[in-house]
Amino acid sequence: MADAPKTKSRRPPAGKFYQQEMAAWQPTLTPGNVITTFAVLGAGCIVVGVLILYATSSVVQVKAHYDGPDAPGAHEACRVSGLGQTASCAVTMKAPEKMAAPIYVYYELGNVYQNHKRYSTSLSHEQLMGSILEKDELSACEPLKTSGDRTLSPCGLLANSFFSDTFTVSSPAGLEMKEEKIAWWSDRSHKFIQPDTFEYRTGIPEADDEHFMVHMRTAALPHFRKLYGKISTDVEKGESVTFAVESRFWVRKFGGDKYLTMTTLSNFGGADHFTSVAYIVVGVICCAVALLFVGLQQVQPRVIGDLSAAVENRKTK
């Protein structure tokens, strides 16, 4: 009877990394180490917070609330009276300080919950990337897959609640707002592709529209802003910029608000001071804890044992 073939034993890889013998370091939490850690961390957070605050203080921003339940009467002409209605109006904003190019134009929406799970997942990624699918293949788009006897492309709640207001700079003359390259490069190149057989219908956005791509990047909070265009010319202090607005997105039904914002940016983003204040507050708390530990160490010092004695004792066993 023939012997069974011998199998080669598989040796584990050599080396300390594979054998889990890497050297480990565990800090000794002495009072001095703890106090130093809190002090350095606190000072670092305060410095970063001050730098962010200084950078954002240079941001110049002007905002107009042009539609919504609490919108001022000056923008009454921008009010959309119902679903499918359009209102044409003008929104004028005066620069409080010189606004150096590039100047970014955003639209802001309030009380719009793009992060609702049913809303944010009602879309078909395959369809947005150019695949032609039948309605039976669009279960992810529930409850909005068809319109009459037509299969929607794009389908889903998210795509078909597209923010459809448009803005055009009407004055001053020569001031141009560009609306290209406002979406992520990956979205423009790979994620959104228009199928060759797509039939455009009024009221349904095209899948290669950059405003549509920006809309499809859902926001985490109910009040958010999204980029609409960029102005590459400086706006001087006191100069007024007028936008011709075609208002179509109906928000008063659910108590929403619409804003138009014109702003410059710093290296840390817009004029939101939350990040800088958060850093400073954390830094102050860390420094206060360090001072508290210093006081406790002075009033009731903690005696540190002699670790060398413990080592010698372990060697003798």
Name which residue leads in pLDDT, 16 or 181.
Answer: 181
Question: 233 and 117, same structural domain?
Answer: yes
Question: 168 and 275, same structural domain?
Answer: no
The pTM for the full model equals 0.77
In a domain, 136, yes or no: yes
* Boundary-marking domain end, from 219, 241, 264: 264
Number of domains in the chain: 2
- Give the pLDDT band (50/70/90) at residue 315: low
Question: 275 and 201, same structural domain?
Answer: no
Question: 110 and 209, same structural domain?
Answer: yes
Q: Which domain range does residue 227 map to?
A: 62-264
* Distant-in-sequence contacts of 274-277, Cβ < 8 A, 24+ apart: 275/49, 275/52, 276/49, 276/50, 276/52, 276/53, 276/56, 277/49, 277/53
Question: 77 and 201, same structural domain?
Answer: yes
In a domain, 306, yes or no: no
Question: 220 and 128, same structural domain?
Answer: yes
Write out pLDDT tens, residues 137-161.
899 998 999 888 888 888 999 999 9
DSSP letters for 68-86: STT--GGGGGG---STT--
> Which pLDDT score, from 0 to 100, does residue 106 have?
97
Q: How far apart are CA 121 and CA 128, in angstroms?
A: 13
In a domain, 95, yes or no: yes
Quick one: average pLDDT of 238-248?
A: 95
- Give the pLDDT band (50/70/90) at residue 177: very high
* Boundary-marking domain end, from 264, 283, 309: 264
Question: 258 and 274, same structural domain?
Answer: no
> Beta-carbon neighbour count of residue 47 at 10 Å?
13
- Give the pLDDT band (50/70/90) at residue 199: low
Q: How far apart are CA 152 and CA 129, in angstroms?
A: 14
Question: 215 and 285, same structural domain?
Answer: no
* Boundary-marking domain end, from 264, 288, 306: 264
Question: 287 and 229, same structural domain?
Answer: no
Please say if the pLDDT value at position 101 is more than 60.
yes
Please say if the pLDDT value at position 302 is more than 90.
no
Question: 166 and 80, same structural domain?
Answer: yes
Q: What is the dihedral sign for C-alpha 132, 135, 140, 146?
A: positive
> Which pLDDT score, from 0 to 100, does residue 221 have?
93
In a domain, 230, yes or no: yes
In a domain, 18, yes or no: no
In a domain, 309, yes or no: no
Question: 153 and 172, same structural domain?
Answer: yes
In a domain, 316, yes or no: no
In a domain, 116, yes or no: yes
Question: 275 and 260, same structural domain?
Answer: no
Q: Return mean pLDDT, the chain.
A: 87
Distance of CA 239 to the CA centre of its chain: 30
